[in-house]
């Protein structure tokens, strides 16, 4: 007796939005990320710039991108005018 195959119904394609967790943009988190990405530490002015531009929270990808960008920026853009 031949086996009958159950009729398969096509599944709907669902798109899921994966939540990217945000983390605090603290001096400690910036330092840890900089140690992972760079061979040298960031100076306090660079850390302040990252905190100023990102705000209180950011994703790890945003933090990494800003840390890498701050090293290639001209110093005049990083320092606050007096």
What is the per-residue pLDDT across 55-70, written as a single tens digit (0 to 9) for each?
A: 999 999 999 999 999 9
Of 8-12, 26-30, 32-36, 56-60, which gets the smallest average pLDDT?
Answer: 8-12
pLDDT at 21 > cutoff 80:
yes
Domains and CATH numbers, the chain: 22-78 (1.10.238)
Confidence of residue 6 (pLDDT cuts 50, 70, 90): low
Segment 36-58 mean pLDDT: 94
d(CA 50, CA 28): 12
Angstrom distance (rounded) from CA 33 to CA 41: 10
Phi and psi at residue 75, in whole multiples of 5°? -60, -30
Residue 47 contacts residue 60 (beta carbons within 8 Å) = no
Average pLDDT in the chain: 88
């Amino acid at each position: 007796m031949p086996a009958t195959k159950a009729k398969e119904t096509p599944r709907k394609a669902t798109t899921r939005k994966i939540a990217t967790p945000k983390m605090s943009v603290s001096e400690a988190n910036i330092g840890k990320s900089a140690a992972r990405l760079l061979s040298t530490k960031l100076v306090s002015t660079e850390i302040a710039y990252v905190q100023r531009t990102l705000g209180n929270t950011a994703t790890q990808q945003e933090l990494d991108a800003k840390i890498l960008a701050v090293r290639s920026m001209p110093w005049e853009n990083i320092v606050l005018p007096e």
